[in-house]
Each structure stands twice: as structure tokens, then as C-alpha cells.
């Protein structure tokens, strides 16, 4: 399958969020990425439900929602109602991970599990059959504009081997420091979904940057 591109609205101009969504709608992007932060699991606060609902009204692409919050189980149904198509929770924030991802799927969303840079992919061995996607954080979560952690390549390759060896249909997504300089190498390593924020919305021509990420050209 061709790789997907999911521009992250965390790096967009919040004063012109509708314009940013419109640009993504008209681009070659596949999804729209939304990072939800609570100021507890990570030292930052981002979008709430009213913003997600507003984005959903104008978005023509599926909403790819990543929860960087404690106790995400409290809000799964609300994120589904707000318009999330994919819902990714942090491995480190879930006490009963199997229960959480099962409920996400029962609500009709694709279930993802995200790993912080220090968390080994081997910990996912028993949960892989129950999820649709793994998000490898290639920076420490919380803020945009950070530098890509090079050790992430080893994690991606290890995870790709784990998935392929078991014949599972699971997407590998990466987020953090993704741009046109490393996109091709990441896809070659086994990545299926590129999340890009600052490199897209900080560029002179965001739609063209998305095109380059999508075509690797």
C-alpha cells in the first residue's frame, strides 16, 4: 500500500484554523492529525472537543486523533462523537490497554497505540492482534518543532519485523521531526503514515510540501 500523509494541525495558525483545514482538504494529504494534550501527561495543552467538532464540520479527510492524556477511557465515546476516525492512545497512559483499544474498535474507530521514544516496541507483542496502528513518537511528546530522534529507525525496523512475521495488517505511523529530508528513509524502513506539522505549516507552500511528502519527490 502507498504511504499516507497526515498533516498535524498543532503547527497550524490557530487564528486561521479553517483556512488550514481547507488547504489540507485540497491537498494530497490522506488524514488530518489532531494532537490532544491535557497538560498532565505532557507539559502542554492543545485542542478540546469544541475545536475538534469545528474541524470535523469542514474537514473532508478522516480525523487522525492522538490522545496524550491521562485516563483516556473517560473520553473515548466523546471523541467518537466529536468526529474521530482513528483514535490513538499512549501505551504509557493506559492501565488496561486491551480494554481501551477494544472499546475504541467497538465504537467504530481504528485503534492505535503510541509509544514514547524510551518505550521499547517489544512491549506491544501481546496487544498487536487487537489494534490497527502503532504510532512511534520520534520526538518527546508535548511540543512541535523538535528534532527527529535517530534511534527511532531501529524501533521502526524492529516493529515492522514483528508485524510482518505474524502476518498482521497494522499501520506504522511516525510523528516528530518529519520532513522531506527523512520521509523517504522512513517509508523504506517500514513506515505507512507520516505525520508532519512544522515542516508543512512552516513552509512557504504547505500544499506543495504535502505533495512532496506524499510522492517522496
**Residue tagged active-site, from 30, 64, 175, 179:** 175
Q: Reply yes or no on whether 132 is catalytic.
A: no
What are the tens digits of pLDDT across the range 29-54?
Answer: 999 999 999 999 998 889 899 999 99
User: pLDDT at residue 216 above 80?
Assistant: yes
Q: How many CA atoms lie within 13 A of 129 on its CB side?
A: 3
**Residue tagged active-site, from 35, 38, 64, 179:** 35
Residues 6+ apart with CB under 8 A from 181: none
Using alpha carbons, list the distances in angstroms from residue 5 to 75, 144, 145, 150, 169.
26, 17, 17, 20, 18
pTM of the full predicted structure? 0.96
What are the tens digits of pLDDT across the range 119-174?
Answer: 999 999 999 999 999 999 999 887 766 789 999 999 999 999 999 999 999 999 99
CATH 2.40.40.20 fits 4-215, yes or no: no
Q: Reply yes or no on whether 35 is catalytic.
A: yes
User: pLDDT at residue 217 above 80?
Assistant: no
Domain boundaries, the chain: 4-215
Amino acid at each position: 500500500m502507498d504511504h499516507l500523509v497526515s498533516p498535524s494541525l498543532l503547527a497550524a495558525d490557530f487564528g486561521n484554523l479553517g483556512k488550514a483545514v481547507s488547504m489540507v482538504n485540497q491537498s494530497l494529504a490522506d488524514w488530518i492529525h489532531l494532537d490532544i494534550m491535557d497538560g498532565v501527561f505532557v507539559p502542554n495543552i492543545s485542542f478540546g472537543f469544541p475545536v475538534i467538532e469545528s474541524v470535523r464540520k469542514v474537514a473532508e479527510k478522516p480525523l487522525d486523533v492522538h490522545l496524550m492524556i491521562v485516563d483516556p477511557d473517560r473520553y473515548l465515546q466523546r471523541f467518537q462523537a466529536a468526529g474521530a476516525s482513528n483514535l490513538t492512545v499512549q501505551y504509557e497512559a493506559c492501565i488496561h490497554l486491551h480494554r481501551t483499544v477494544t472499546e475504541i474498535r467497538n465504537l467504530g474507530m481504528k485503534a492505535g497505540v503510541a509509544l514514547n521514544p524510551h518505550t521499547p516496541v517489544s512491549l506491544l507483542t501481546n496487544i498487536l492482534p487487537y489494534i490497527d496502528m502503532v504510532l512511534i513518537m520520534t520526538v518527546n511528546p508535548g511540543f512541535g518543532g523538535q528534532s527527529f530522534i535517530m534511534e527511532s529507525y531501529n524501533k521502526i525496523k524492529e516493529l515492522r519485523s514483528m508485524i510482518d512475521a505474524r502476518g498482521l495488517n497494522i499501520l506504522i505511523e511516525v510523528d516528530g521531526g518529519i520532513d522531506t529530508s527523512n520521509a523517504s528513509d522512513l517509508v523504506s524502513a517500514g513506515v505507512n503514515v507520516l505525520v508532519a506539522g512544522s515542516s508543512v505549516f512552516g513552509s512557504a507552500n504547505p500544499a506543495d510540501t504535502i505533495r512532496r511528502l506524499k510522492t517522496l519527490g
